[in-house]
Structure 1
Amino acid sequence: MLFLTHLLAAAILGRVSRLSPLWLVVGTAVPDVVDKPLAMVGVTTLYHSVGHSVLLVIVALPLALSGRAGLSAALGWALHLSLDALHVVLNGRPGDAVFLLWPAVTPTDPLALPPGSFFLYYLWSPSFFLEVMLWLTAAGLLIRHVTRSARAGPRDRID
């Protein structure tokens, strides 16, 4: 799943819940902010490693229990992992979902493409169309919100 779509999903979750949108977005950004640079400089060979591991529950659980901001960040992180797992399953690679268990288990034939090459590979895949639908839905909701706000008129009018 593309990085911006993760951020959009977190923002939408923040909008429909009572969770902090800021901390949801921060939490959902963390896996890619950690893992992509590590792979790009050669520290790991996978683009899904440390930040994408459910074994980080040892960090996420205390964070979630620390308060509303921590809960939002932990749920944003879990949302990111869930969307990435859904992505590999939809694209016909369910065995690659074992990235969630890194370092205990690694995919036997991981799709180790750098972000630019991944984008080209990803175009027109089943998961790509799911993302397009998500973005179109968000655009529709935004247009509806703006239209309703414009019809309501200014609220602080002084006559």
Structure 2
Amino acid sequence: MLFATHLLAAGLLARRFRASVAWAVVGAALPDLVDKPLASLGIVDLFHSVGHSALLAVVVVPAALLGRAGVAAAVGWASHLLFDAVHVVLNGRAGGALFLVWPLAIPLDPLAIPPGAFFVYYLWSPSFFVEVAIWTGAAAFAVRAWRDRAEAA
């Protein structure tokens, strides 16, 4: 899933559950903000590693106990992992979801391409159309909310 869609999805989830949108977006950004630089610098071989591992829950869950901001950030982080797992499965690479237990298991066919090349690879894939639907729904929701506010004024 593309970075901006992770942020949008986390923001929508936060609004739906009346959580902090800002903290949910921060949480959703963290996996990529950790993993993309690590892989780009050659520290790890995969673009889904440390930040995308569900094993990081040993840090995220205690952070969630710090209050509503921590819960929102944890939800954003968890949504990022969930949506990336769904993305690889939809695109026919179910084994790619092993990133969730990195470093205990490593995907057999990792897509080890940098973000720019990934975007080109991703266009027209099955999950790309799911993202288009998410953005279309979000735009329709925003237009409706704007119209409702305009009518109420």
Give me the TM-score of the superposition, normalised by structure 2: 0.98
Which whole-Å CA distance do the structure 2 matches of 1:73 and 1:152 have between them? 33
Shift of residue 101 of structure 1? 0.5
Contact 2:95 2:109 in 1 (8 A): no
Runs of 5+ consecutive residues of structure 1 not aligned to the other structure: 154-159
Q: In the alignment, what sits opposite 1:93?
A: 93
Shift of residue 145 of structure 1? 0.7
1:25 aligns with 2:25: yes
Percent of pairs identical after alignment?
61
1:132-159 CA distance string (max 9 Å, x none): 0000000000000111111112xxxxxx
Q: In the alignment, what sits opposite 1:142?
A: 142
Match for 1:84: what amino acid? D
Q: Secondary structure at the match of 2:127?
A: helix
1:29-62 CA distance string (max 9 Å, x none): 0000000011111111100000000110110110
Q: In the alignment, what sits opposite 1:133?
A: 133
Match for 1:151: what amino acid? E
Contact 2:28 2:73 in 1 (8 A): yes
Which whole-Å CA distance do the structure 2 matches of 1:79 and 1:143 have between them? 25
Runs of 5+ consecutive residues of structure 2 not aligned to the other structure: none
Q: Secondary structure at the match of 2:57?
A: helix
Shift of residue 109 of structure 1? 1.7
Which whole-Å CA distance do the structure 1 matches of 2:100 and 2:83 have between them? 12
Which whole-Å CA distance do the structure 1 matches of 2:12 and 2:149 have between them? 19
- Find runs of 4+ consecutive structure 1 residues off by over 2 angstroms: none
1:62-110 CA distance string (max 9 Å, x none): 0111111111111110000000000000000001100011011101120
Rg bigger for which structure?
1
Q: Secondary structure at the match of 1:13?
A: helix
Which whole-Å CA distance do the structure 1 matches of 2:60 and 2:11 have between them? 19
Give me the TM-score of the superposition, normalised by structure 1: 0.94
Which whole-Å CA distance do the structure 1 matches of 2:112 and 2:80 have between them? 18
Q: In the alignment, what sits opposite 1:9?
A: 9
Which whole-Å CA distance do the structure 2 matches of 1:130 and 1:45 have between them? 28
Which whole-Å CA distance do the structure 1 matches of 2:151 and 2:72 have between them? 33
Shift of residue 19 of structure 1? 1.2
